[in-house]
Amino acid sequence: MKQEELKKLVGEKAVDWVHNDMIVGLGTGSTVKYMVTALAQKIKTEHLEITGVVTSARTAEQARSLGIRLKSVDEVDHIDLTIDGADEVSADYQGIKGGGAALLFEKIVATNSRKNIWIVDQSKLVKQLGAFPLPVEVIPYGSQQLLTRFAAKGFHPSFRLTSDGQKVKTDSDNFIIDLHLGEITAPAEMATYLKQQVGVVEQGLFLDTVNTVIAGFDDGPRVFE
Ligand code: 5RP
């Protein structure tokens, strides 16, 4: 199966976890897009009362266009379940997220969610995190200094750029610095170091966040819990 078909497969499978009256966190990315489409369909066919809490302007636009009722994270008293994608997932269910530059809102929604599910195609499952560049969201002021500091640490940082060479801006008007680490041997230490740097808003290591991973394989979706 092609990667796109695997994404669709897990996106559609994930809505099995959604039940009536739930408040559901809606992640961001190309895999989540299939899930949001499937969720809208399920809401219509099963006449469900579902409230979505989005993690990006992109997902908000799609969910609204499909008629999913939305509230902001600050308007709800809990989130039952969040379904999101990931860029890498290790064997012990730690992950890197932020390939779509939505890591800050994704982490806020995930942190406030009772259950978190990641939906990925099999290519995202790795032995060790770090081949995927680790995204770090930074405020623009002083960001060049941060880049220089990360370079001195041997993190091989680069500002994420748009196709026309501008620095990517997140939904919070921040920049993304990607760290080309190759491997992350001590994720918790790395997360702590990054969060301690003034100007860093959030970083893309999602540690001890997820309860369930649905991975797409050629012979169908596999659920890891
Ligand atoms: C966005 C994310 C995405 O969930 C992650 O990049 C996976 O995206 P895709 O499903 O398109 O591969 O973290 O910030």
Sequence-distant (6+) residues with CB within 8 A of 34 are 7, 8, 10, 11, 12
- The reply to whether 2 sits in an annotated binding site is no
pLDDT band at 81 (very low <50, low <70, confident <90, very high): very high
Backbone angles phi, psi at 187, to 5 degrees: -60, -40
pLDDT over 90 percentage in the chain: 99
Query: How far is Cα 98 from Cα 116, in angstroms, rounded to an integer?
Result: 16
Pocket of ligand 1 (CB under 6 A): 27-31, 84-87, 97-103, 106
Checking if the pLDDT of 14 tops 90, the result is yes
CB-CB contact of 136 with 177 (8 Å): yes
User: What spatial distance separates the first Cα and last Cα of the chain, rounded to whole Å?
Assistant: 24
CA of 132 to the centre of ligand 1 (A): 12
Which pLDDT value is given to residue 124?
Answer: 97
- For ligand 1, atom 6, name the residue with the nearest CA: 99
Checking if the pLDDT of 211 tops 90, the result is no
Query: How far is Cα 188 from Cα 184, in angstroms, rounded to an integer?
Result: 9
Tell me the mean pLDDT in the region 137-157. 98
CA of 118 to the centre of ligand 1 (A): 10
- The reply to whether 21 sits in an annotated binding site is no
CA of 59 to the centre of ligand 1 (A): 12
Which pLDDT value is given to residue 214?
Answer: 98
Give this prediction's pTM.
0.97
Sequence-distant (6+) residues with CB within 8 A of 198 are 142
- The reply to whether 212 sits in an annotated binding site is no
Tell me the mean pLDDT in the region 125-144. 98
189 classed as catalytic: no
In one-letter notation, the amino acid at residue 225 is: E
- The reply to whether 86 sits in an annotated binding site is yes
What's the pLDDT tens digit per position in 88-111?
999 999 999 999 999 999 999 999
Catalytic residue (choose from 106, 137, 183, 202): 106
CA of 70 to the centre of ligand 1 (A): 20
What's the pLDDT tens digit per position in 159-208?
999 999 999 999 999 999 999 999 999 999 999 999 999 999 999 999 99
CB-CB contact of 82 with 39 (8 Å): no
Which pLDDT value is given to residue 1?
Answer: 79
Residue ranges in the chain assigned as alpha helix (H): 3-14, 30-46, 57-65, 103-111, 143-152, 187-196
> Would you call 132 helix, strand, or coil by DSSP?
coil
Checking if the pLDDT of 126 tops 90, the result is yes
CB-CB contact of 211 with 168 (8 Å): no
Atom of ligand 1 at shortest range from CA of 97: 13
CB-CB contact of 85 with 29 (8 Å): yes
